[in-house]
Amino acid sequence: MANIDWSKLTFSYTKTNTILKTTFKDGAWTPVESCTDDYLHLSAYAGALHYAIECFEGLKAFRAKDGSVRLFRPEENAKRLQRSAKYLGIEAPSIEMFVEMCKRCVRENIEFLPPYEATGASLYLRPTLIGSNPQLGVQSSKESTFMILCSPVGAYVGGALDAVDCVIARNYDRAAPNGSGSFKVGGNYACSLYSLNVAHEQGYKAVLYLDPSTKTMIDEFNSSNFFAIKDNKYITPKSDSILPSITNMSLETVAAHLGMEVERRPVAVEELSTFEEVGECGTAVVITPVHKLVDKPFLESTEETVYTFGDGKCGPKSLKLYNFITGLQKGEIEDPFGWINIVEL
């Protein structure tokens, strides 16, 4: 096992043994390579560099209580990557190829998989697909390169289950109406960077965006979905400009399994004052509870309306959902849904 202090892991890059790489060209994928070098030999004219022909995924591998190594719903990540690739007009790997490459990446970097006892730690996998052939014109790439990268990580925002303060960015959007918001493409994240930097300068951990058409409905955070708890209901926005989060989808299923009512619907900003708990959810964060959500006429304004949820700790319903999901991932709870995919070592 790597010489790492697992308790001090953040969500950041750590050099591991290998990345996996294959390229689709001339109608077929090349044999998968294990590369010890993180750097790519790529044409300066590649479509990914000029026209953002790039999409990616994020999922985690866990060491379970019984010592087994587990992936959480990798087939859903494969399907979402295929959907993003279709939007970009490039070739994506099959579900089987995607899952097997993820497993191979874990096996080749097994010493970087945190032990079961490392709370909140995992081996994060970043499947990445880019348009890689040289081109000048604006068009989909004929050649695509698919890679699986990995790095051991801790909590994405603060510590696991630390409540955070966030701000609504009314004068910025992460996606356009009828645009790429529901696809996991790099351009969506680029669109969030300026407002996120402003928010960080003001002391906020994340930015919440509203629907780009009317600015009256809640969309999602800069890197994760929004959910709220009210009257034993799990509520999450329905919008065409939101990325369909696999974690959020899983939380909806778990909430129903635990006897909660689930509502995926348009959520008006005015409803914030009625919610008992609010949180971010996604692969990187799982659940991050939100303590304060600040609404401003525009991000740089000093005028603000503050919504407060709970006492600065994770609410009871959010905690119950978090414990169920992480319990599944780490083998502490029997999997009633068939979501766990075991990596044979």
pLDDT tens-digit map of 41-87: 999 999 999 999 999 999 999 999 999 999 999 999 999 999 999 99
- Alpha carbon 141 to chain centroid, angstroms: 25
Torsion of CA 295, 260, 225, 271, to 10 degrees: -20
Residue 96 to residues 22, 75, 91, 100, Cα–Cα distance (Å): 14, 8, 15, 6
pLDDT value, residue 287: 94
Lowest mean pLDDT: which of 151-165, 209-223, 244-258? 151-165
Chain-wide mean pLDDT for the chain? 96
Question: Among residues 289, 231, 237, 226, which one has the least CA distance to residue 263?
Answer: 237
pLDDT value, residue 149: 98
pLDDT at 158 > cutoff 80: no
pLDDT value, residue 162: 85
Taking the C-alpha atoms of residue 87 and residue 69, their distance in angstroms, rounded to an integer, is 33
Buried b (16+ CB within 10 A) or exposed e, 9-32: beeeeeebebbbbbbbeeeebeeb
Taking the C-alpha atoms of residue 337 and residue 165, their distance in angstroms, rounded to an integer, is 33
CB 341 within 8 A of CB 74: yes
- Angle, helices 246-257/316-329, rounded to nearest 10 degrees: 110
Active site positions, annotated: 184
Residue 197's pLDDT band, with cuts at 50, 70 and 90, is very high
- Residue with token string 């399907």: 79
pLDDT value, residue 60: 97
pLDDT value, residue 2: 84
pLDDT at 188 > cutoff 90: yes
Taking the C-alpha atoms of residue 137 and residue 11, their distance in angstroms, rounded to an integer, is 36
Q: What number of residues does the chain have?
A: 345
Looking at residue 252, its amino acid is E
pLDDT at 4 > cutoff 90: yes
pTM (global) more than 0.85: yes
Ordered structural domains, the chain, with CATH: 6-153 (3.30.470.10), 164-328 (3.20.10.10)
Q: Is 295 exposed, middle or buried (0-12, 13-18, 19+ CB in 10 A)?
A: middle
